[in-house]
């Protein structure tokens, strides 16, 4: 009977480890908490860009992965490219900004 108990314990330990590894993040895939954090950062960056009257939010796309914000889309003036990056960097939780904005 003791042997059976050891097997049951080992099974549950293995199950727990598999579950924990399945929920953690990898270099190309986020865990659940990171995904939620990135969604919040994306929303905050979009809101900050919307508040900036010189930037047109409809033409700026924002994506976030592990705190790295990527800006893409089109802007009217060269200065808007730098301004959008500056606004994004000012948002809490942003680790860095990849700026792929282009002029119309």
Q: Kindly tell me if the per-residue pLDDT of 48 is higher than 90.
A: yes
Strands (E), the chain: 60-65, 68-75, 96-103
- Residue-range domains of the chain with CATH: 28-103 (3.30.1340.30)
Of residues 19 and 68, the one with the higher pLDDT is: 68
Phi then psi dihedrals of residue 75, to 5 deg: -130, 165
Whether pTM > 0.95 for this model: the answer is no
* Mean pLDDT in residue range 48-68: 88
* Mean pLDDT in residue range 39-54: 93
Q: Kindly tell me if the per-residue pLDDT of 11 is higher than 80.
A: no
């Amino acid at each position: 009977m003791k042997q059976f108990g050891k097997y049951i314990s080992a099974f549950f330990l293995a199950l727990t480890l598999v579950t924990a590894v399945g929920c953690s993040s990898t270099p190309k895939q986020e865990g659940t908490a990171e995904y939620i954090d990135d969604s919040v950062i994306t929303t905050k960056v979009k809101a900050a860009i919307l508040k900036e009257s010189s930037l047109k939010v409809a033409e700026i796309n924002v994506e976030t992965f592990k705190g790295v914000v990527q800006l893409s889309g089109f802007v009217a003036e060269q200065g808007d490219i730098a301004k959008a990056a500056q606004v994004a960097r000012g948002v809490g939780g942003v680790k860095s900004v990849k700026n792929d904005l282009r002029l119309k």
